Amino acid sequence: MTRIFTCFISFLLCTGLAFGQDSTEVKLKHDTLTVTQQVSAGLRIGLDISRFAYLYFQPYRTDVTLMADARLNKNLYVAGEFGYNRTSHSDSNYTYKGNGAFVALGIDYNVLKKQTSKQRNILYVGARYGVALFNYEIPEYHIYDEYWGNSSGSVPKQSDNAQWIELVVGLKAEVFRNFFLGWSLRQRFLTTRRIPEGDFPPLVIPGFGPGNKKSVFDFNYSISYQIPLYNVKIPVFSAKAKPKKGH
């Protein structure tokens, strides 16, 4: 049993080293010399730490957002965000309760040039398509009007959904091996949800923002870790081969 365990650990270590090291390959095809390098890649998982700032500026909100991306080739990444929101607000005018989750999936494209193959910093532009499922209720509200008189009421619990497109520009920098710090600017456009006239809109749409707006600007700060799972081929040099002179 000890021997089997030792062999298993040795296999994992060798696999990790294989993914963590770079290798260079030279090919000559159709008179074109191409040099490619195997670069460590994998699943990068992160946490949007800027969401916790809402606890200070908007204490009635609790937001948690996880982020992930995976490198497909030299510049292209598949990316997404996943999160949860809980909102509980009460004042002299109304009481509100809501919660829900969201997912936003898309791609990022690295526009940072003149890097060495070992550098994994990215300056990227991207796009997302987001979907949120949530429910909310207004246990009580009060309307104060000197002319028409005061009135009170409630809105029963209801389920809703929203969809949006999102444009992204951001930066991720490797501060330690496989550890990244990043920020991004985001512009979201609501595409499907339409609030009927007279209805009370949700205070917050998870992953999007205020429920009474069709367009929202946002930013975030993130910390992430890349799990090295595979390698990708990165072209580092390409040139036409010179024909040999006859003797």
Q: What is the pLDDT of residues 112-158, one digit of tens each?
A: 886 666 678 999 999 999 999 999 999 998 888 777 878 888 888 88
Q: Residue 44: name the closest of 203, 154, 182, 139 by CA.
A: 182
d(CA 53, CA 152): 33
49 part of a folded domain: yes
Token duo for residue 68: 């992930």
In a domain, 88, yes or no: yes
What is the DSSP annotation of 20-60? HS-EEEEEEETTEEEEEEEEEEEEEEEEEGGGGGHHHH-TT
Domain of residue 105 covers 2-240
Q: Is the pTM of this model over 0.75?
A: yes
Q: What is the pLDDT of residues 195-246, one digit of tens each?
A: 555 578 899 999 999 998 999 999 999 999 999 998 888 776 555 555 555 5
DSSP state at residue 15 = H
Q: Tell me, what's the pLDDT at 16?
A: 43
247 is a domain residue: no
Q: Does the residue 33 lie in any domain?
A: yes
Indicate the number of domains in the chain.
Answer: 1
Q: How many angstroms separate the CA atoms of 100 and 113, rounded?
A: 40
Answer yes or no: is 245 within a domain.
no
Task: Tell me how far apart the alpha carbons of residues 23 and 236 are, in angstroms, rounded to a whole number.
Answer: 12
pLDDT of residue 5: 36
What confidence tier does 32 reach under pLDDT thresholds 50, 70, 90? Answer: low
Partnered with residue 45 across adjacent β-strands are: 68, 225
- Cα gap 213→187, rounded to integer Å: 12
Q: Is the pLDDT of residue 247 over 90?
A: no
How far is residue 130's CA from residue 102's CA, in Å, rounded to a whole number?
A: 7
Is the predicted pLDDT of residue 92 greater than 90, yes or no? no
For the chain, give the mean pLDDT.
82
Report yes or no on 30 lying in a domain.
Answer: yes
Q: Is 211 part of any domain?
A: yes
Give the CATH number of the domain where residue 106 resides.
2.40.160.20
